[in-house]
Amino acid sequence: MKKLLFFVTVVLATATCHAQQGQGESGGKPPDSQPVVISDLNELHRYLVGSAAENKFSGVVLMAKGGDILFQEACGLASKSLTAPNKMDTKFNLGSINKLFTAIALLQLAEKGLLSMDDPIGKYLDVFPPEIADSVKIIHLLTMQSGWGDYWDNDYFKAHRSDLRTVSDYMQFIKDMPLDFKPGTNAQHSNTGFEVAGAIIEKVTGVDYYEYIEKRIYEPMGMSNTGSYHTDSTVDNIAIGYTNENPYDFVTTDYTWSNTHLMPPRGTPAGGGYSTAEDLLKFAQGLRGNILLSPGYTNYLLNGFQGKPGDPILPMLLKGVWRSVGGAQGISAVLGMDLKDGYSYIVLSNYDFPAAYDVFQLIYKLKL
């Protein structure tokens, strides 16, 4: 259950869109009485301009085929109090898309023979009782079948959330959390499992989780504008999230409330890091190119951990669009990849989920 804590009000400013490729006519607004259909880039531009004018979307949209950018557009404001516009190189909170980086890190270690997806977590972490240590496997953490859910209602978390800055800080209370069901028998959204995955990465490598992700994922991909930033550090060109989820105002829907005081001190293995559309395109291309993982392990990841590493490319790899999604108050992000035709779709928003996903749903079938 999401918790709303404290909000800061800001001045609402006019939002605009800045098309950089595929720009069509300006103006227009999304129709309210009939489903929206986007059939070309001109229509996409008009839709985004209209959505920004109605204050329904703020963020960036990028569409590419291979390494060629077909369309990119920035809409709305990164900071309403400063009237600072979003730009294509603005850093947005990714929400749960960070889980993808954590999963890749574990697969890298598996590929090196340093762990197995079927290993129980107790093989690496000695803080859990036997009934958890011996029954929860690494693969359960990645498929959200561990038995853990989220930790928003945990008393320790609520009392210390502003002090949680490292993976070990989260383990201080996760080690005492019971399971909701027997591992492998059910599935539920689990930030908890990915925090545990981060702890395993640190144990196996002897390296801080954030340093490992920086060196083994961001740097090889050239993702120089991606990271899990401390909230008390100065970061240039970062989007502030704006939310309509306000415990004191159930009527306002114009995104006047900043989510700043809802944010943890730092992103975690479960989510909350920042990136740009350009960096995510680099990541998508590198993942397809097997730069981070071998073809077998890339296939294993993109097929939702079905089969086993080294299996032939499964038929489902050639169907539809693979996607990674993140969302919370003032956070909405989607990375989509057409694995057959080489398209990438990136939508990042500093408005409530599903702002980015709604746009993604309109564009992921576009073939140009």
Segment among 48-52, 249-253, 316-320, 351-355 with least mean pLDDT: 316-320
Give SS3 for 331. Answer: strand
Q: How many CB atoms lie within 10 A of CB 299?
A: 22
Q: How confident is the model at residue 9 (pLDDT cuts 50, 70, 90)?
A: very low
The token duo for 207 is: 């390296």
Tell me what the pLDDT averaged over the chain comes to: 89
- For each of the domains in the chain, give its residue range(s) and CATH number, in order of start: 8-94+229-266+273-363 (3.40.710.10), 99-211 (3.40.710.10)
Using the Cα atoms of residue 21, residue 333, residue 49 and residue 31 in order, give the sign of their dihedral: positive
Q: What is the mean pLDDT of residues 66-90?
A: 97
Nearest 5°: phi and psi at 161?
-55, -35
Over pLDDT 70: what percentage of the chain? 89
pLDDT of residue 246: 81
> Could you read off the pLDDT of 151-199 as tens digits, one per residue?
999 999 999 999 999 999 999 999 999 999 999 999 999 999 999 999 9
The yes-or-no verdict on residue 37 having pLDDT over 90 is no
pLDDT of residue 22: 36
Q: For residues 203 and 115, what is the distance between their CA atoms, to the nearest angstrom? A: 11
C-beta separation of 76 from 172 below 8 A: no
The yes-or-no verdict on residue 312 having pLDDT over 90 is no
Higher pLDDT, residue 235 or 315: 235
pLDDT of residue 25: 35
The yes-or-no verdict on residue 303 having pLDDT over 50 is yes
C-beta separation of 122 from 134 below 8 A: yes
User: If you search the block for the tokens 């859990």, which residue do you land on?
Assistant: 128
| DSSP assignment string, 283-329 | HHHHHHTTSSS-HHHHHHHHTTS-S-TTPPPPGGGGSSEEEEEEEET
pLDDT of residue 13: 32
Q: How confident is the model at residue 34 (pLDDT cuts 50, 70, 90)?
A: low
Q: For residues 319 and 328, what is the distance between their CA atoms, to the nearest angstrom? A: 29
Using the Cα atoms of residue 148, residue 149, residue 155 and residue 161 in order, give the sign of their dihedral: positive
pLDDT of residue 11: 27
> Could you read off the pLDDT of 266-294 as tens digits, one per residue?
999 999 999 999 999 999 999 999 999 99
**pTM confidence score:** 0.90
The token duo for 156 is: 């320790």
Give SS3 for 272. Answer: coil
Burial 240-253 (b: 16+ CB within 10 A, else e): bbbbbbeeeeeeee
The yes-or-no verdict on residue 342 having pLDDT over 80 is yes
> Could you read off the pLDDT of 102-112 as tens digits, one per residue?
999 999 999 99
pLDDT of residue 14: 36
Q: For residues 138 and 193, what is the distance between their CA atoms, to the nearest angstrom? A: 9
> Could you read off the pLDDT of 211-262 as tens digits, one per residue?
999 999 999 999 999 999 988 778 899 999 999 988 777 777 899 999 998 8
pLDDT of residue 64: 97
Q: What is the mean pLDDT of residues 130-136?
A: 98
Q: For residues 201 and 368, what is the distance between their CA atoms, to the nearest angstrom? A: 40
Length of the chain: 368
Q: What is the mean pLDDT of residues 294-323?
A: 78
